[in-house]
Amino acid sequence: MRLCYAVPGKVVEVGGEIGVVDFGNGVRREVVLAMVDAKPGDYVLVHAGYAIKVLDEEEAKKTLELYSQILGLAEVR
Amino acid sequence: MGWDLRQALRHYRNPRLARKILEKIREIAKDLEVVKIMHVCGTHEWTITHWGIRALLPENVVVRAGPGCPVCITPASDIDSAIKLALDGVNVLTYGDMSRAKGSRMVSLEDCRAQGGRVGVVYSFMDAVKLARSNPSQEYVFLGAGFETTAPIVAYAVLKGLPENLKIISSHRYVPPAVGLLAESEDLAIDAFINPGHASTISGMKAYKPYFDRVRKPMVFAGFEPLDILLAIYMILKQIKDRNPKMENEYRRAVTWDGNLDAQKNLREVFDFDDGYWRGVAIVPDSAMNFKEKFSKVDARKIYGLASGKGDHFPSNARCAEVIKGLIDPPECPLYMKSCTPATPIGPTMVGVEGTCRIWAQHKVVGIKCRSGVCEIGSQPPRAKRMFEG
Ligand code: SF4
């Protein structure tokens, strides 16, 4: 495990402060969700058994769009 | 909506865009002197090495790895303390890589298990809690290393209440003051920083503000895909060219100005932030997360009378301290890939998956142009060409 890296996964179940996160390829883990405001369907960054952040999907897209503009590229997608 | 995050993230490996950014980087760099950029995150080093990014940058743009590997900077004396407890019959639990890092007598927790020491490996601190709870007659100590990314789950569990038979050695360290120290170092003479991505989701950008104000060097918060790194480098060069240093956020999908307030609250409630030793680096002010007085009941240092962490203790000839500080590249160490390999690690930076030596070794970087010029005996991994030039 890397101690300064978190892995993105999709929240599939929320039960109080604990939830289940799907990391793809059939890997699911119980994760502490107490420090984020996550609902099923959200992508979260998971580190050492807890979610540190809900990923901002809009921002993920916007950063690249912004930069493809700056760099004079057409639409990235 | 209607699109998937995974799909969006694929674009952060888009070769066409990567080439375009590289063109821009080369264009800006033409007007600049040598620019020395440091990152302080082992996973940034992984991205940079894995995608062969150094070889693609113009010669005057230098990227160095700083102390971004928690296993590497955990003081030798804390490893020694844990070993002593394990040999005395206490069940010592820690993260996988941590169990392989050697203390001052060149012994790791894993080595001491072979001598009858009681050592277990966990993925999360929550696993340690579960273990202790299901074996109430056993005594457990958790060696807790890591940055603010890792520490909040420990704080959270402590606030929830630990089983009586579980104590913690807190070796946790806080990154922002270390960046402040590195930024002021004249030996290193770093011009700009790629700030950590995931540690910063916790601390927020605001934690770096006092240090930025002092040095006024570009600090860009970056993610872990190859384009994240290239964009961060582009942003830094642009700031330098415009003579407009600032704190800028490339990793907006994860890092915010305020960070994770719940996690911060947990940390501040449980820990005092004291001066603390970073192995190979220095004492960093306000960087050691030590248990507050009112949590003495879980503090293994108090209960077992363990000294606070200090000490480099690297074997002679080993140049780990210089690698950790970003003063030299791994191939400049005489032991690199000779006696010290991923299978036979001597220093901690060959142990941790976030250690520079380990990352370079795994990517078979035995020959790369080092800053001293002595290591120029090979080439970068082929991966970079496939990704960006092909
Ligand atoms: S090669 Fe081994 S001994 Fe040399 S600096 Fe790296 S970890 Fe230390």
Query: What is the per-residue pLDDT for B368?
Result: 53
Q: How many domains does chain B have?
A: 1
Interface contacts A/B by beta carbons within 8 Å: 143
Residue A76 forms contact with B (CB below 8 Å): yes
C-alpha closest to that of B49 among B348, B353, B380: B380
Q: How far apart are the first and last CA of chain A?
A: 33
Residue A39 forms contact with B (CB below 8 Å): no
pLDDT band at A1 (very low <50, low <70, confident <90, very high): low
Residues of chain B in contact with residue A1, where contact means CB-CB under 8 angstroms, are 95-97, 123, 353
Q: Which residues contact B250 (CB under 8 A, 6 or more apart)?
A: A63, B220, B221, B222, B223, B228, B231, B232, B235
**C-alpha span between B240 and B119 (Å, rounded):** 49
**C-alpha span between B211 and B209 (Å, rounded):** 5
* CB atoms closer than 10 angstroms to residue B257: 11
DSSP assignment of B2-68 equals -S-HHHHHHGGG-HHHHHHHHHHHHHHHTT---EEEEE--HHHHHHHHHTTHHHHS-TTEEEEE-S-
C-alpha closest to that of A4 among B195, B8, B264: B195
Q: How far is B377 from chain A (nearest CA, A)?
A: 30
Give distance in angstroms: CA of B122 to centre of ligand 1: 26
Cβ-contact B63, B37 below 8 angstroms = yes
List the domain range (segments joined by +) for residue B62: 1-390
Query: What is the per-residue pLDDT for B15?
Result: 84
Backbone angles phi, psi at B23, to 5 degrees: -60, -45
**C-alpha span between B83 and B89 (Å, rounded):** 10
Residues of chain A in contact with residue B251, where contact means CB-CB under 8 angstroms, are 63
Name the residue among A35, A43, A47 with its Cβ closest to that of B156: A35
Q: How big is the CA angle at B43 (ends B40 and B49), to the nearest 5 degrees?
A: 100
Query: What is the per-residue pLDDT for B269?
Result: 98
Residue B121 forms contact with A (CB below 8 Å): no
Give distance in angstroms: CA of B300 to centre of ligand 1: 30
Cβ-contact B129, B145 below 8 angstroms = no
Query: What is the per-residue pLDDT for B185?
Result: 93
Length of chain A: 77
Residues of chain B in contact with residue A47, where contact means CB-CB under 8 angstroms, are 149-150, 153, 198
Domains of chain A (ranges, CATH numbers): 7-76 (2.30.30.140)
Q: Taking a contact as any Cβ pair under 8 Å apart, which residues of chain B between 145 and 164 contact chain A?
A: 145-147, 149-150, 152-153, 156
Name the residue among B20, B152, B353 with its Cβ closest to that of A73: B20
C-alpha closest to that of B13 among B50, B41, B58, B45: B50
Rounded average pLDDT per 10-residue block, chain B, 390 residues: 59 84 94 95 91 88 94 94 96 94 92 94 94 97 96 96 98 97 94 96 98 98 93 96 96 94 97 96 96 97 89 85 92 92 93 90 66 44 48
User: What is the domain-level CATH number for residue B167?
Assistant: 3.40.50.11740
Give distance in angstroms: CA of B355 to centre of ligand 1: 10
Give distance in angstroms: CA of B368 to centre of ligand 1: 16
Give distance in angstroms: CA of B241 to centre of ligand 1: 36
Query: What is the per-residue pLDDT for B313?
Result: 81
Query: What is the per-residue pLDDT for B352?
Result: 83
Query: What is the per-residue pLDDT for B378?
Result: 39
Sheet holding B140-144, edge to edge: B119-121, B91-94, B140-144, B166-170
Q: What is the pLDDT of residues A7-18, one digit of tens each?
A: 888 999 999 899
Q: Taking a contact as any Cβ pair under 8 Å apart, which residues of chain B between 191 and 250 contact chain A?
A: 196, 198-199, 201-202, 224, 227, 231, 250
Which ranges in chain B belong to alpha helices (H)? 5-10, 15-29, 42-50, 53-56, 70-73, 76-87, 109-114, 125-134, 151-160, 175-184, 198-203, 209-215, 226-241, 261-270, 300-304, 320-325, 356-362, 383-384
Of B140 and A70, which is predicted with more confidence?
B140
C-alpha closest to that of B110 among B128, B125, B124, B97: B97
Query: B373: number of CA atoms within 13 Å, CB side?
Result: 0
Using CB distances shorter than 6 Å, the residues near ligand 1 are B 318-320, 323, 330, 333, 335-336, 340, 346-347, 349-350, 357
Task: Choose from A3, A27, A68 for mutation: most chain B CBs within 10 A.
Answer: A3
Q: How big is the CA angle at B286 (ends B280 and B292), to the nearest 5 degrees?
A: 115
Burial of B91 (0-12, 13-18, 19+ CB in 10 A): buried
Cβ-contact B92, B141 below 8 angstroms = yes
User: What token pair was written down for B197?
Assistant: 């991505």
With CB atoms and an 8 Å threshold, state whether B147 touches A4.
yes
Give distance in angstroms: CA of B162 to centre of ligand 1: 38
Mean pLDDT of all residues in A18-27: 88
C-alpha closest to that of B196 among B272, B158, B250, B138: B250
Q: Using a CB cutoff of 8 Å and minimum separation of 24, what contacts does B97-100 make?
A: B97/A1, B97/A3, B97/B71, B97/B351, B97/B352, B97/B353, B97/B354, B98/B71, B98/B74, B98/B143, B98/B145, B100/B345, B100/B351
Nearest CA in chain B to A30: B126
Q: How far is B153 from chain A (nearest CA, A)?
A: 7
Q: Which residues contact B78 (CB under 8 A, 6 or more apart)?
A: B103, B143, B145, B169, B171, B306, B309
Residue A27 forms contact with B (CB below 8 Å): no
**C-alpha span between B159 and B109 (Å, rounded):** 28
